[in-house]
Amino acid sequence: MTSIRRKTTAVLATAMLGAIGFAQQPPANPLDVVPDQMPFNTPYGPPISLDRAQAAAHAAMEEATKRGWAMNIAVVDSGANLVAFLRMDNAQIASISIAEHKARTSVKFRRPTKYFEDAVQKSGYQYVLSIDDVIAVRGGIPLIQGGKVIGAIGCSGGTGAQDEVVCTAGAKAIGN
């Protein structure tokens, strides 16, 4: 009886340890998932014209003015070159380069900069911060025409949410 009890105890202990070990296995890394299609694969188009870039910037400025927010607004073309820039009276100086950086990041990666903010803040993907030319703060939006990226608008001077509202107004003004 003792030998049967020992064997039973050993089998149960092995089964329990196996179950505990299995339960403690880390979940699959979500970064290992291979999507069927490329995300953010909108093709690049011809560069945004000066007239359209200025229209987007001015619409963004109107939104900021309406809300009483002093902003810096940058519009870049499909090659990430600055086309239009507005610095509203009393907008903070540090936000000049941030607005440009948001626009450049958005066009280079063909996605809103909020994507990178969410990757870091919500998903814990800190590796994003090591990718060249990324800024992980909302307020950069690609400008699309005819299904192609023609540029991007970046706004800075307020909170990320304020910057995004102003950028959205600029993007909508040119049909985004």
Q: Which residues of 1-31 are buried (b: 16+ CB within 10 A; e: fewer)?
A: eeeeeeeeeeeeeeeeeeeeeeeeeeeeeee
Prediction pTM value: 0.81
Residues 5-57 have pLDDT tens digits of: 555 444 444 544 444 445 556 557 777 888 888 888 999 999 999 999 999 99
- Residue whose C-alpha is closest to residue 152's, from 86, 101, 95: 101
The 3-class secondary structure across the chain, one letter per residue, is: CHHHHHHHHHHHHHHHHHHHHHHCCCCCCHHHCCCCCCCCCCCECCCCCHHHHHHHHHHHHHHHHHHCCCCEEEEEECCCCEEEEEECCCCCCHHHHHHHHHHHHHHHHCCCCHHHHHHHHCCCCHHHHHCCCCCCCCCEEEEEECCEEEEEEEEECCCHHHHHHHHHHHHHHCCC
Residues 122-161 have pLDDT tens digits of: 999 999 999 999 999 999 999 999 999 999 999 999 999 9
